[in-house]
Amino acid sequence: MHAVNENAGVSVKLVSCIGIGTVACGVAKASADVIQISGGDGGTGASPLSSIKAAGCPWELGLSEAHSALLNNGLRDRVTLRVDGGIRTGRDIIAAAAMGAEEFGFGTIAMIAEGCIMARVCHLNTCPVGVTSQKEELRKKFPGTPEHVVNFFHFVAEETRQLLAHLGYYKLEDLIGRSDLLTVDHQQIKRVQKTNGIDLGPFFCGIPDTSSDRSFLRTQCGKKKEQLVHINGFSSDLDRELSNNPDILKVISENQGEASIKVKIKNTDRSVCAMLSGSIARAHGNRGFEGDINIEFRGSAGQSFGAFVLPGLNIKLIGEANDYVGKGMHGGEIVVVPNENAGFVPSESSIVGNACLYGATGGDFHASGRAGERFAVRNSGAYAVAEGAGDHCCEYMTGGLVAILGSVGRNVGAGMTGGIGYFYDPENNLEEKLNKEIVKMQRICTPEGEAQLKAVIERHYQKTGSEKAELILDNWDEEKVRFKQIYPPSEVKNPVVKPVVLAAGETLRVSASAPDGEMCFLPVGRSFSPEQTARCAD
């Protein structure tokens, strides 16, 4: 996130739990601007009741541990601490500030202020007061107004002001980190039987005393923390070099032409091309770039290689890559092939890591080798081909297409609600690896499905020279019957799944067919057109 927009602050949310201090220190070292501590008492009605009741510790425990760890390691002045999870009143704000919080989040109580009745059916589209429903008849029942929420926060601010005055402080800032002002309320602790006898002394004494040293409230240069945004270190040097390349700058500024360069990459170069994608997006948005930028990398890429790639940006990696290749990819093209002297069989070896194409919304991805776990997780538009994958392939996928030309691990298609998957299954054991909660499996039974699969494999061979793809294409009539197609209920009327007979006047809009009934494939190097995007969303 820092790479794609260096002027924006980044907030990292951590669940309150034992050991959160160690995690908070790592997050601060990784240049986060805000650390949000979320307690276990929050959560909306969309969460399972078991999660609301049994997940996470109270925010007091997580906040005090994170604040203490950051102070003891000299990192407290680098980040702003925010807390949420059951914050309701001005008293909560005073207590949280004394434990180290600088900002405060309100979720559930703000929803209640505008009319939520906590029916806990957010995910069913049946909210009785129309807060989380898209049904017009329910939305008409929504009672909330902006003034309701404004009024609530006025009262919270007034209570906070009164408590500050009672304690003898003029500014809330003077109270931040003052845990020495907290003490046990013996009357309250004896009021409830299960808390009677609990000793809270060690809980408070573990928080460092900051009554005399208040330097952690400012950055090292004396500025307010919100005025300073961290930027990536040396791990983005290669991306800066690409973003400042004269040929690339010319193509971006003129929005036409072509630039082709070759560079070396190493595994400490992270999020490469994210900064370049940010430069393109700031100049032309996520679809307006008309030029072509072709970059060939050679070496071992670090994490998040090709993150947020946009249409017109075509990158090829000769080597291998770590996790999160193509994260947030929106268009363009990513091709990963092994080194010419690799000395291994690509289709039997991993060439990219875990969670590739996480949240991709478009683009064309080809890996001449195996991918790790959670391949194409939350993919909602990319067309991707790999020659094998680990567990949880196509998890939470909502659109696009994935073709796997080799074996896969367990839990295929878990939570998949859109898109199409093709899996090469010569051993006929895919069914036992499939998560059948949502998706169904069948052999390819339509000419459209066969044409779609063959087209993406042909493009894979064209881009990577894959021996596995060549073998399948050379023996297509024999090999095509070894492929299985998986699809969720939303794709039942898709012509690549089943032939559809339309009633008079009915129109068909699905993610893999054009309005005229012809198959539509993702153009090489470009994202979906607006019409294709609408069909994918449907």
| pLDDT tier, 343 (very low <50, low <70, confident <90, very high otherwise) | confident
Q: Give per-residue pLDDT as tens, 322-331.
A: 999 999 999 9
CB-based burial of residue 444 (10 Å sphere; 0-12 exposed, 13-18 middle, 19+ buried)?
A: buried
Q: Which of 174, 199, 227 is the last residue of a domain?
A: 227
- Give me the pLDDT at residue 530, please: 59
3-state helix, strand, coil split of the chain in percent (to 5) is 35, 20, 50
Summarize the confidence of residues 506-511 as an average pLDDT. Answer: 42
Find the domain containing 384 and state its range. 323-537
Strands, sheet with 380-386, edge to edge from the N-terminal-most edge strand: 258-265, 292-301, 313-321, 330-337, 362-367, 380-386, 398-404, 418-424, 483-487, 440-443
Which of the two residues, 225 and 454, has the higher pLDDT score? 454
- Give me the pLDDT at residue 264, please: 97
- Give me the pLDDT at residue 219, please: 87
Considering the chain, what percentage of its residues have pLDDT values greater than 70? Answer: 91
- In the chain, the number of structural domains is 2
Residue 432 lies in a domain: yes
277 token code pair:
């994608």
- DSSP conformation letters of 11-23: EEEEE--TTHHHH
Summarize the confidence of residues 99-106 as an average pLDDT. Answer: 95
Same domain, yes or no, for 493 and 344?
Answer: yes
Angle ∠(251,325,378) on CA atoms, nearest 5: 110
What's the rounded Cα separation, in Å, for the pair 310 and 252? 12
- Give me the pLDDT at residue 411, please: 96
What's the rounded Cα separation, in Å, for the pair 410 and 431? 10
Give which of 16, 8, 148, 158 is closest to 82, Cα–Cα. Answer: 16
- Give me the pLDDT at residue 304, please: 95
Q: Give per-residue pLDDT as tens, 492-502.
A: 999 999 875 55
| pLDDT tier, 512 (very low <50, low <70, confident <90, very high otherwise) | very low
Q: Which helix (H) or strand (E) holds 70?
A: helix 59-72
Q: Which of 195, 227, 259 is the last residue of a domain?
A: 227
What's the rounded Cα separation, in Å, for the pair 183 and 180? 8
- Give me the pLDDT at residue 521, please: 46
Which of the two residues, 48 and 144, has the higher pLDDT score? 144
Residue 237 lies in a domain: no
| pLDDT tier, 203 (very low <50, low <70, confident <90, very high otherwise) | confident
- Give me the pLDDT at residue 390, please: 96
Residue 5 lies in a domain: no
Same domain, yes or no, for 215 and 328?
Answer: no
- Give me the pLDDT at residue 520, please: 44
33-37, 42-46, 202-206: which range is least confident on average?
42-46
Same domain, yes or no, for 203 and 339?
Answer: no
Report field, pTM of the whole predicted structure over 0.85 = no
Report whether pLDDT(75) > 80.
Answer: yes
Phi, psi (degrees; rounded to nearest 5) at 141: -85, -5
Residue 268 lies in a domain: no
347 token code pair:
């289709």
- Give me the pLDDT at residue 516, please: 41
Q: Which of 227, 244, 279 is the last residue of a domain?
A: 227
Q: Give per-residue pLDDT as tens, 449-463.
A: 999 999 999 999 999
Residue 427 lies in a domain: yes
What's the rounded Cα separation, in Å, for the pair 166 and 524? 67
Q: Give per-residue pLDDT as tens, 290-341.
A: 999 999 999 999 999 999 999 999 999 999 999 999 999 999 999 999 998 8
Same domain, yes or no, for 520 and 385?
Answer: yes
- Give me the pLDDT at residue 120, please: 79
109's CB contacts (< 8 A; 6+ apart) are 87, 88, 152
Q: Are the CB atoms for 302 and 239 separated by under 8 Å?
A: no
231 token code pair:
């930027």
455's CB contacts (< 8 A; 6+ apart) are 519, 521
- Give me the pLDDT at residue 508, please: 42
Summarize the confidence of residues 371-398 as an average pLDDT. Answer: 96
Summarize the confidence of residues 233-255 as an average pLDDT. Answer: 93
What's the rounded Cα separation, in Å, for the pair 85 and 80? 17
- DSSP class of residue 355 equals S
- DSSP class of residue 477 equals H
Which of the two residues, 176 and 524, has the higher pLDDT score? 176
Residue 256 lies in a domain: no
Same domain, yes or no, for 339 and 216?
Answer: no
What's the rounded Cα separation, in Å, for the pair 372 and 455? 24
Q: Which residues pair with 314 in a beta bridge?
A: 294, 333
Helix 20-29 / helix 59-72 crossing angle, nearest 10 deg: 50
Residue 250 lies in a domain: no
Arithmetic mean of pLDDT over the chain: 89
Give which of 304, 427, 325, 435 is closest to 371, Cα–Cα. Answer: 325
Q: Give per-residue pLDDT as tens, 136-160.
A: 899 899 988 999 999 999 999 999 9
Distances (CA, A) of 197 to 18, 52, 201, 279, 493: 22, 27, 12, 60, 64
Report whether pLDDT(61) > 70.
Answer: yes
Report whether pLDDT(92) > 80.
Answer: yes
Residue 222 lies in a domain: yes
Q: Are the CB atoms for 433 and 409 separated by under 8 Å?
A: yes
Give which of 169, 219, 216, 172 is closest to 67, Cα–Cα. Answer: 216
CATH number (domain holding residue 458)? 2.160.20.60
Q: Are the CB atoms for 372 and 354 separated by under 8 Å?
A: yes
Q: Which residues pair with 362 in a beta bridge?
A: 330
Summarize the confidence of residues 92-105 as an average pLDDT. Answer: 95
Same domain, yes or no, for 219 and 338?
Answer: no
Report whether pLDDT(518) > 50.
Answer: no
- Give me the pLDDT at residue 526, please: 46
What's the rounded Cα separation, in Å, for the pair 344 and 353? 17
CATH number (domain holding residue 62)? 3.20.20.70
Q: Which helix (H) or strand (E) holds 51?
A: helix 49-54
Distances (CA, A) of 361 to 225, 228, 379: 34, 31, 6
